[in-house]
Chain A
Amino acid sequence: MAGKKFTYAPAPESRAILDLRSSYGLFIGGEFVDSIDGRTFKTISPATEEVLAEVTEAGEADVDRAVQAARRAYERIWSKLAPRERGKYLYRIARIVQERARELAVLESLDNGKPIRESRDVDIPLVAAYFFYYAGWADKLPYAGFGPDPRPLGVAGQVIPWNFPLLMLAWKIAPALACGNTVVLKPAETTPLTALLFAEICQQADLPPGVVNIVTGAGETGRALVEHSGVDKVAFTGSTEVGKMIARSTAGSKKKVTLELGGKAANIVFDDAPIDQAVEGIVNGIFFNQGHVCCAGSRLLVQENVADIVVSSLKRRLGTLRLGDPLDKNTDVGAINSAEQLARIRELSDVGEEEGAERWSPPCELPDRGFWFPPTVFTGVTQAHRIAREEIFGPVLSVLTFRTPAEAVEKANNTPYGLSAGVWTEKGSLILWMANQLRAGVVWANTFNRFDPTSPFGGYKESGFGREGGRHGLEAYLATGNRGRDV
């Protein structure tokens, strides 16, 4: 248990490296511009509710301007540029991200509420890695297995969530640009700032104006972008509910659509698992990024004969988690991203209790201001409980038990989702059998929540379709066959 003797003194990362402006425009055609109707909104730090900056809300007309800028850039410059040169722009961006990594990490933690340890060690290094990886594809596309002369789609409209703001931007923009598309990207309304800093990076890299456009706003802005007739490709990461709306609104169009949506992953622990590492995997699976992870291991399926051991080890380990200031280098659990999300987590947790599951959190002092929720474990959960079925998207773990591998598979697959799963056992053949049986796009065996630009990521069933990352991720941004009747 985390002791009381050794108290880590505050170790806050300095904000001095940031040069935050008081207000930001939309990034269209290589410049920051005001919206046509002058509407703005504020973005706050979820840890303190401090206003960080005023951000412009893009209306339909602004989205239209952005799509037109992207179209012009596509037709006049980007599609005519030698692939090698496209690649070199992406390499430049990757390098600038590395150079400005600390600044980006601090800003991400401020705007999102995630611990600086994660933005510094996970998010931002991966952002650079994705740009680096896809930069190299730009002039090698004929070798990617999509025919001898794969063509870009045109203008990509991309809508990303608030949980990994800059990383999701990289997942979207890097392959799109490498394949020769131009983009209009809408970051989430609660986390627009790193995308706007990324716009500055595009300027710094001398990226031709209009190749990347950033429009800030909420759901309506996203809808305008997705439904815009000038968009050839829609890429969305977010909730399954919105994903379905997008699938409907793009029906019958020529738009190629990829969706990366929700999940309710099972993290399955067998009795012969390396218990200490499994406990780490459970912690990493559901408390990484406050559980704001679509592939979070939110259902712990533990074999009945080790359930007590695993749960007690887990609780002991949770006692060492440090919740608090996201900018403190020793913080493990940061702030919930928004009041709205906090309300949802609270609501579903209350439902869990009402349904009879046993709720537990380690002793944990929550700050007075900002949006906070303690790491929470529900035991005695059954498949029928809402907390075992619905995506909570917060630091809440539901513990269920199973007796045999077949039962584990049955329970793991008994969900409309199919994004990810975890398996913990030292028996090799069982790992491969489980990996075969699980209906999920990513299976982590004896590890969890690992990401890499070379590794395809995406869901089965209602977790969406299409893959991001790796060679497979190129397909989403290339004309590779069926797109609609008129093609």
Chain B
Amino acid sequence: MTTTAPLQVERISEVTASDASLRGFLHGLPGVDQVGAEARVATMSSRSIKTTAKQWAIDLAISMIDLTTLEGQDTPGKVRALCAKAMRPDPSDPSVPRVAAICVYSDLVAVAAHELRGSGVKVASVATAFPSGRASMAVKLQDTRDAVAAGADEIDMVIDRGAFLSGRYLEVYDEILAVKEACGHAHLKVILETGELGTYDNVRRASWLAMLAGGDFIKTSTGKVSPAATLPVTMIMLEAVRDFRDSTGRQIGVKPAGGIRSSKDAIKHLVVVNETAGDDWLDPDWFRLGASSLLNDLLMQRTKIATGRYSGPDYFTLD
């Protein structure tokens, strides 16, 4: 089958050979018409997901959550509580699936890794001078190595948006490449911080750049910049991973993060996954939701479906 993407795998090294070739490639990607993209998302958002479909989607969404705490006030105690919740989101209902991962700062990775050992819940750590990305390369790499050494299964790095926006694509590429190497066996999620990129065209270019450089996941946001994950951005990124796989045979995951708070939002994201990238991405290995408060809303909806009545926040743990 002919593919939508203009790149064959054997050409990747050519593309990344120089700043000029990389620039030529990224700017040669088909543009994104903002109005058309948003109209498409609006149509998908109007899907009516009810009954059995809703039940299935809620459980899938829970299993895709990267349960996140990224605050200055984070403590080992807080992280331990979060880990308990990750493994058993609803203590009164063992049928609730565990979440995909816990996401913390690198200094708390060891605590999380200890708590989660053998549970199947992964430990993800932000790194590379999160959230701004403004530090020397050496610091960023050390940050990464520390997190991996402490037991992180996944590294969420931020790209240098300044370099990206000023057109120094090769610099961004090299940085991702270096971090990927520092990750060793850990999976690398590349945070594009789409809220700072300004256009969907840039989101598409940054997505391709991250994938070319070897990122395992592309992630929308740090959660520290508004807007964070939006449905159109998620759709553009899903189109990118879809086209990238068509071109190269390599499947990349997508993680919208930040701003997804309600079950309704989460289900809309799953609809967009379903109708943009399809079945292969409807799996916690390939799609994640970076969130914290979302989990409780999903649990409340789940209870509503099971019991037939609306639940309240008092019935769910706050961590």
Residues on A lying within 8 angstroms of B by beta carbon are 1-11, 117, 121, 272-277, 280-281, 308-309, 312-313, 320, 329-330, 426, 446-447
Cβ of B36 and Cβ of A5 under 8 Å apart?
no
Cβ of A320 and Cβ of B275 under 8 Å apart?
yes
**CA of A443 to CA of B159 in the docked complex: distance in angstroms?**
41
Which of B36, B43, B46, B53 is the one whose CB lies under 8 Å from A446?
A: B36
Cβ of A6 and Cβ of B282 under 8 Å apart?
yes
**CA of A446 to CA of B43 in the docked complex: distance in angstroms?**
17
**CA of A11 to CA of B57 in the docked complex: distance in angstroms?**
15
- For residue B51, CB closer than 8 A to chain A, the reply is yes
Cβ of B30 and Cβ of A11 under 8 Å apart?
no
Please give me the residue from chain B that is nearest to A7 by CB atom.
B53
Given contacts A3-B279, A5-B282, A6-B274, contact A121 B30 (CB under 8 A): no
| Closest-CB distance, B243 to chain A (whole angstroms) | 9
| Closest-CB distance, B251 to chain A (whole angstroms) | 14
Cβ of A8 and Cβ of B49 under 8 Å apart?
yes
Given contacts A117-B46, A276-B239, A277-B37, contact A6 B270 (CB under 8 A): yes
- For residue B306, CB closer than 8 A to chain A, the reply is no
Residues of B within 8 A of A5 (CB): 274, 279, 282
**CA of A313 to CA of B37 in the docked complex: distance in angstroms?**
15
Cβ of A273 and Cβ of B30 under 8 Å apart?
yes
Cβ of B53 and Cβ of A275 under 8 Å apart?
no
| Closest-CB distance, B7 to chain A (whole angstroms) | 12
Closest 6 A/B residue pairs (Cβ)? A277-B36, A3-B279, A11-B48, A329-B48, A308-B2, A9-B53
| Closest-CB distance, B309 to chain A (whole angstroms) | 21
- For residue B4, CB closer than 8 A to chain A, the reply is yes
Cβ of B35 and Cβ of A447 under 8 Å apart?
yes
Q: Which of B218-239 contact A (CB under 8 A)?
A: 239
What is the predominant secondary structure among interface residues of chain B facing chain A? helix
Which of B1, B57, B271, B275 is the one whose CB lies under 8 Å from A312?
A: B1
Residues on B lying within 8 angstroms of A by beta carbon are 1-4, 30-33, 35-37, 39-40, 43, 46-54, 56-57, 60, 239, 270-271, 274-275, 278-279, 282
Which of A9, A117, A121, A308 is the one whose CB lies under 8 Å from B52?
A: A9
Cβ of B278 and Cβ of A3 under 8 Å apart?
yes
Which of A6, A9, A272, A273 is the one whose CB lies under 8 Å from B51?
A: A9
| Closest-CB distance, A211 to chain B (whole angstroms) | 36
| Closest-CB distance, A108 to chain B (whole angstroms) | 17
Residues of B within 8 A of A7 (CB): 53
Given contacts A6-B57, A9-B53, A312-B1, contact A281 B36 (CB under 8 A): yes
**CA of A9 to CA of B48 in the docked complex: distance in angstroms?**
9
What is the predominant secondary structure among interface residues of chain A facing chain B? loop
| Closest-CB distance, B300 to chain A (whole angstroms) | 20
**CA of A309 to CA of B5 in the docked complex: distance in angstroms?**
8
Cβ of A330 and Cβ of B47 under 8 Å apart?
yes
Q: List 19 A-B contacts (CB under 8 A).
A: A3-B278, A3-B279, A5-B274, A6-B53, A6-B57, A9-B50, A274-B36, A275-B4, A275-B30, A276-B4, A276-B36, A276-B40, A277-B37, A277-B40, A281-B36, A330-B47, A426-B33, A446-B33, A447-B35
Cβ of B30 and Cβ of A2 under 8 Å apart?
no
| Closest-CB distance, A158 to chain B (whole angstroms) | 32
| Closest-CB distance, B39 to chain A (whole angstroms) | 7
Residues of A within 8 A of B3 (CB): 309, 312
Given contacts A312-B2, A446-B36, A447-B36, contact A274 B278 (CB under 8 A): no
**CA of A173 to CA of B54 in the docked complex: distance in angstroms?**
43
Cβ of A312 and Cβ of B4 under 8 Å apart?
yes
Residues of A within 8 A of B282 (CB): 3, 5-6
| Closest-CB distance, A4 to chain B (whole angstroms) | 6
Given contacts A6-B274, A309-B3, A309-B4, contact A1 B36 (CB under 8 A): no
**CA of A5 to CA of B271 in the docked complex: distance in angstroms?**
11
Which of A8, A11, A274, A329 is the one whose CB lies under 8 Å from B32?
A: A274
| Closest-CB distance, A388 to chain B (whole angstroms) | 23
Residues of B within 8 A of A330 (CB): 47-48
Please give me the residue from chain B that is nearest to A271 by CB atom.
B30
**CA of A3 to CA of B242 in the docked complex: distance in angstroms?**
13
Residues of A within 8 A of B37 (CB): 276-277
**CA of A277 to CA of B4 in the docked complex: distance in angstroms?**
13
| Closest-CB distance, B127 to chain A (whole angstroms) | 32
Given A275-B4, A446-B33, 7 more contacts at CB 8 Å?
Answer: A6-B57, A117-B43, A276-B4, A277-B33, A329-B46, A446-B35, A447-B36
**CA of A280 to CA of B34 in the docked complex: distance in angstroms?**
13
Residues of A within 8 A of B39 (CB): 280
| Closest-CB distance, B226 to chain A (whole angstroms) | 26
**CA of A121 to CA of B39 in the docked complex: distance in angstroms?**
12
| Closest-CB distance, A9 to chain B (whole angstroms) | 4
Residues of B within 8 A of A426 (CB): 31, 33
